[in-house]
Structure 1
Amino acid sequence: MTSALRAEERALTTLHTIALAVSQLADSAPCERLLQDSGLRRADLDTPDKLISHAQELRVFANALQHTRDPALGLTLGLRMHVSAYGILGYTMLASRSLREALQLALVHPALLGTYFKLSLEEDGDEARLVAVGYRYAPELTVLNTELCLTSLLTVVQDLLGQALRPRRLLLAYRPPLHALAYGDKLGCPTEFGASRNALCFDAALLNRELPLADPVTCHHGLQQCLKLDAQLNNGHDVLGQIRQHLASNLREAGSLERVAGQLHRSARTLRRHLQRMNTSYQRLLDEVRYDKARQLLMQTDLPIYLIAEQLRYSETASFRHAFQRWSGQTPSLYRR
């Protein structure tokens, strides 16, 4: 399936990680190479409120690995991902009363954090753990994204405390990569590979440490902005869900965006604005729904291809075959086998 229809295409994030990668790798990989096939342009990096899909970000990561040939790239980038890169979330964390409150703030706003993992904070005696599980994206980028996640969390904790921090240990749920020695060199702590989950472990006493830049007024106002941004992002996802659900239930009658907007009792302008903010389009949503329905009909029924094309509102069977091959990389008949 093409990137336009994978699950990671439907999850959105900000540009901060890509902007960092392009900036840090400028000497070894030109911007055009890093952004190749991602659908992004150099000018997009100067648009701080632009949202991109995880698929676009993953494409940039893959390009970066290919062009730098640096197996420890995730470690390198994560150690440079400072708390200020997270915008209003980062500044609100800096103004939080304690490290515990700052981390809890980030964990309840994963959309603003832009992580590929489900994060949690655990305490076991005198050890605290930032646990990262649930990665389900590009498997070839598992190591890079795990390194990036845990080392960026370490960088954030150090920024919040205003001091260098040597973790107690790093737990990783994969076997030692070829660059395994780089973990000790860059992090200065023991690394345990083949663990049951990924975790950054440090002294639990640090959680109650008052942050040097704590400011209750700034923190309060920042929290309100975080809630507002989170609501806007979730509202955008809700709108996309409503459109998808409507198309799935009325695929035979699916028409223009204007028609769908009327059926949803919204203005076409409002829907178009939501779609642009979520970095997608009406045609892309329609393709997603058609592709999901096509796979269902091909695998669960014996309907001829031409009847499936009709159900998906294609005027010609050839048009459906072409579209399905673009989505999946194979013809409908081959997919059915």
Structure 2
Amino acid sequence: MATSLLPEERALTTLHTIALAVTNLDHGGTDRERLLEGSGVACADLDTPDKLISHAQELRVFANALAATRDPALGLSLGLRMHVSAYGILGYTMLASRTLRDALVLALGHSALLGTYFKLSLEVEGPEARLVAAGYRYAPELTVFNSELCLTSLLTVLQDLLGSLIRPTRVCLSYRPPLHAASYEQMLGCPVEFGASSNALCFDAALLERGLPLADPVTCHYGLQQCLKLDAQLNSRHDVLDQIRQHLAGNLRESCDLDSVARQLHRSERTLRRHLQRLNTSFQRLLDEVRYDKARQLLVQTDLPIYLIAEQLGYSETASFRHAFQRWSGQSPSLYRR
């Protein structure tokens, strides 16, 4: 019951990323069965490119990989092996795009096909372009791993698209230096800034207008049609659920009720309630999902006392938050924080 509240249980992705990770680690001597343990993914599934899995299943494989290898820099090394072909039809369509900018705009417009846990955006300021990765709200204990995997895989994709080993101008990371911080500059070949306002891969903006060596308009057009179909499959549930979650996430400390959310979304409360019923959910369930997401982040990533976390989540009494968190996770907030 509790796991269905997690964002990683609600989102679907393809098998490409874990198939690549398992193959690479298997070649290094790590047993495939151990990597897939508890994920619900079988070895035979890795050869089925059309199969979809939840982000929770993917995260379990990542956690298994970290435990099995005991390599703190695993996210960096796996990301550097995540070639553009690992993204299936999206990757091949990017390769066939006219310019690097076109390829990146295509990818950012179909972020579900990238399987990323971040909201990606492209920013240009003067001579520098930045691929920014923000909004991570999944397993807090895998924040560093997923940030490393995201940014280094983006670097690999840039190099694959351009057909040359470009170097970033810098990499920005929003967390404090981990114990393996010295590995970053060595593996990325550029300055690394920890404690930044956001995660970002920065590179020469002039590269955006460079033509891609494998550009082909016919292939690109065909690939785009396939991307649209797969994107629709991954995002089959109506986006109104995300709209409600986004509103709640920004207003947890205030009185959250369906009527105020309906007004914000320019819908009637009755219409919104009917819509939620058709999707087999409820307003209270969405509110619990958002509160649980936020609670996990605050418990793991901050030292805030429990009563302040309860206040930020909109609880007037700390005991009510403790009871709710026990119901969601099966353990107390204090035990989860350990």
| Shared fold, TM over 0.5 | yes
AA aligned opposite 2:52? L
Given that residues 8 and 138 in structure 2 are in contact (C-alpha distance below 8 angstroms), is that contact kept between their aligned partners in structure 1? Answer: yes
| 1:232 to partner: Cα distance | 2.5
Question: Per the alignment, in what secondary structure is the counterpart of residue 237 of structure 2?
Answer: helix
Given that residues 291 and 327 in structure 1 are in contact (C-alpha distance below 8 angstroms), is that contact kept between their aligned partners in structure 2? Answer: no
2:226 pairs with 1:237: no
Note the 1:42-191 alignment, pairs <5 A: 42-191=43-192
Note the 1:247-258 alignment, pairs <5 A: none
Distance, in Å, in 2 between the alignment partners of 1:187 and 1:294 is: 40
1:141-166 CA-to-partner distances (Å, cap 9, x unmatched) read 00000000000000000000001011
Question: Per the alignment, in what secondary structure is the counterpart of residue 160 of structure 1?
Answer: helix
AA aligned opposite 1:193? F
2:15 pairs with 1:15: yes
Percent of counterpart pairs with the same letter?
74
Given that residues 75 and 147 in structure 1 are in contact (C-alpha distance below 8 angstroms), is that contact kept between their aligned partners in structure 2? Answer: yes
Given that residues 3 and 55 in structure 1 are in contact (C-alpha distance below 8 angstroms), is that contact kept between their aligned partners in structure 2? Answer: no
| Aligned residue in 2 for 1:33 | 34
| Aligned residue in 2 for 1:211 | 212
Segments ≥4 residues shifted beyond 4 Å: 288-291, 293-296, 324-327
AA aligned opposite 2:56? A
Given that residues 174 and 195 in structure 1 are in contact (C-alpha distance below 8 angstroms), is that contact kept between their aligned partners in structure 2? Answer: yes
Distance, in Å, in 2 between the alignment partners of 1:31 and 1:189 is: 33
Question: Per the alignment, in what secondary structure is the counterpart of residue 131 of structure 2?
Answer: strand
1:89-141 CA-to-partner distances (Å, cap 9, x unmatched) read 00000000000000000000011111100000010100000000000011110
For structure 2, the 5+ residue unaligned runs are: 242-273, 290-324, 333-338
Distance, in Å, in 2 between the alignment partners of 1:292 and 1:170 is: 38
Question: Per the alignment, in what secondary structure is the counterpart of residue 215 of structure 2?
Answer: coil
Distance, in Å, in 1 between the alignment partners of 2:41 and 2:327 is: 20
What TM-score results when the alignment is normalised by the length of structure 1?
A: 0.72
| Aligned residue in 2 for 1:24 | 24
Note the 1:296-335 alignment, pairs <5 A: 328-329=329-330
| 1:233 to partner: Cα distance | 2.4
| 1:328 to partner: Cα distance | 3.6
AA aligned opposite 2:12? L
- Determine which structure has more spread, i.e. the larger CA radius of gyration: 1
Distance 1:228 1:325, change over 3 A: same
Distance 1:215 1:149, change over 3 A: same
| Aligned residue in 1 for 2:6 | 6
For structure 1, the 5+ residue unaligned runs are: 242-263, 265-284, 297-323, 332-337
| 1:5 to partner: Cα distance | 3.7
Q: What do you get for the CA RMSD once the two structures are aligned?
A: 2.8
